Structure 1
Amino acid sequence: MMQPLRCLRAERGASDLLVLLPGAYMRPEDFVEAGFFAEVERRGLALDLCAVAIDMATVSDGRAAEAVRQQVLLPARQTHERVWLGGISLGGLMTLEITAGHPELVGGLCLIAPYPGSRLVTNAIARAGGIDHWTPSEASLRDPDTRVWHWLKAPPPVRPVFVGHGRQDRFAEGMAQIAERFPPASRHEVEGDHDWPAWRTLWSRFLDAGHFPARSPSA
């Protein structure tokens, strides 16, 4: 049985909540130390935040994604009008995994440098001539990364999406392929590598994109 997830929250009763999933070996506190929480506060946005601690040992078999669904997303749907899901690097890939399996739980996506996943999958897509020409086998769909890319073949166009990465990111090619599955206005590319300076720039762009109203003075 999964242990209760540790969450770091900043909530003031906003109608929107963004659940943030960390990259590999990151802590929820890293979001705070990088200024993510402070930038929401500085802008006075009506946006609640919840950063989740993820045990890396539970990621590959899907237990982490299921724990986020059960322990965080389902309760959040009872307390907030719209629940966003987002993450950095591996957290971005897990965001897509959860959204592909349970799209009804996710009202918006914030993908910052989303890790493209296994090369076995991305190489198979390349050999097929691209994602639109690729058809995974039924057996391969048991793999979470394969399910993510299968979902990316035709993601629903209705939910708001932000997806971005640094131009010098070592995974930039795969990240660009993910971004291309969403509308052009959703895609953002900045100078930088797979590191916090680029991620902070992308976070600022996300917050300035107009998705969230200003917080009321009494909040």
Structure 2
Amino acid sequence: MTPALRKLRLEHGGRDLLVLLPGAGMGPEDFVTAGFFATTRTRAPGLDLCAVDLGPDSISSGQALPAVSREILEPARARYARVWLGGISLGGLLALCQAADHPHSVDGLCLLAPYPGSRLTQGAIREAGGLANWKATAEQLADPEFRVWHWLKAPPADCPVYVGYGTEDRFADGMAQIADCFPPASRCTVPGGHDWPAWQLLWEDFLASGHFSA
């Protein structure tokens, strides 16, 4: 029997829930240490949080997102007005994977420095002349990263998205391509790299975006 996901929650009566997926090598405690929970408590009383521990084995086996959906997203439907999914780096890519494969499972996305995928994925799109010219093959659509980029060609207009990254992030070029798939009001850049100081600034900007109220 697959063990239940380990979770850390902030529950203060919010109307909305945001499920946070960590990046590679991170755990849910990192969101707490970085002040995400404390900032949310004071600045976004309309938002509850659930940070999840995703082990590398469950990610590589493809079991991570089904577990998140089964244990968190689906039950939250009965309790919250909206259920958002977000993450940092690899967690951001996984949030996009969920939205691409199950578009009605989430009501919004918070993507902080979302990892744009492997060099193989990025290279294939670049060689096609960019996302607008790229046509996914059946073989590519069997890969979750390519399915994300296929979804990004025409993301649903009714799904609110926040996407931000540091201007000095080593993956900034690919993140800019993700951001360009959404309206300008959905995008944010801050000084910094692929690190917590930049992500903390982005988190504060996301909470100030007006999506959540008491």
AA paired with 1:154?
Answer: A
Aligned twin of 2:173: 173
Mark the runs of 5 or more structure 2 residues left unpaired by the alignment. none
Kindly indicate whether the alpha-carbon contact (under 8 Å) linking 1:77 and 1:105 is maintained by their aligned counterparts in 2. Answer: no
In structure 2, what is the Cα distance between the partners aligned to 1:32 and 1:209? 21
CA RMSD of aligned residues (A): 1.0
In structure 2, what is the Cα distance between the partners aligned to 1:134 and 1:62? 26
**Structure 2 length-normalised TM:** 0.97
Aligned twin of 1:195: 195
Q: Does 1:79 align with 2:110?
A: no
Aligned twin of 1:131: 131
CA shift for structure 1 position 66: 1.3
Kindly indicate whether the alpha-carbon contact (under 8 Å) linking 2:44 and 2:207 is maintained by their aligned counterparts in 1. Answer: no
In structure 1, what is the Cα distance between the partners aligned to 2:48 and 2:145? 29
CA shift for structure 1 position 44: 5.0
Structure 1's consecutive aligned runs of 4 or more residues displaced over 2 angstroms after TM superposition are: none
Q: Give SS of 2:99's match.
A: helix
CA shift for structure 1 position 13: 2.5
In structure 1, what is the Cα distance between the partners aligned to 2:177 and 2:129? 13
Kindly indicate whether the alpha-carbon contact (under 8 Å) linking 1:125 and 1:131 is maintained by their aligned counterparts in 2. Answer: yes
CA shift for structure 1 position 12: 2.1
Q: Give SS of 1:79's match.
A: coil
CA shift for structure 1 position 115: 0.3
Mark the runs of 5 or more structure 1 residues left unpaired by the alignment. none
Kindly indicate whether the alpha-carbon contact (under 8 Å) linking 1:16 and 1:82 is maintained by their aligned counterparts in 2. Answer: yes
In structure 2, what is the Cα distance between the partners aligned to 1:129 and 1:55? 35
In structure 2, what is the Cα distance between the partners aligned to 1:40 and 1:211? 12
Structure 1 range deviating more: 81-90 or 131-140: 131-140
In structure 1, what is the Cα distance between the partners aligned to 2:128 and 2:154? 17
State, as a whole percentage, how many aligned pairs show the same letter.
59
CA shift for structure 1 position 153: 0.8
Kindly indicate whether the alpha-carbon contact (under 8 Å) linking 2:12 and 2:45 is maintained by their aligned counterparts in 1. Answer: no
Residues 37-83 of structure 1: per-residue CA shift (max 9 Å, x gap): 00011225211000000011121332111111111111111211100
In structure 2, what is the Cα distance between the partners aligned to 1:3 and 1:44? 32
Kindly indicate whether the alpha-carbon contact (under 8 Å) linking 1:2 and 1:67 is maintained by their aligned counterparts in 2. Answer: no
AA paired with 1:97?
Answer: C
Aligned twin of 1:9: 9
Aligned twin of 1:39: 39
In structure 1, what is the Cα distance between the partners aligned to 2:18 and 2:149? 23
Q: Give SS of 1:96's match.
A: helix
CA shift for structure 1 position 142: 1.2
CA shift for structure 1 position 18: 0.4
Report the count of equivalent residues. 214
Q: Cα distance 1:146–1:2, how it changes in 2: closer, same or farther (>3 A)?
A: farther
Aligned 1:68-147 pairs, distance under 5 A: 68-147=68-147
AA paired with 2:52?
Answer: V
CA shift for structure 1 position 210: 0.6
CA shift for structure 1 position 163: 0.2
AA paired with 1:187?
Answer: R
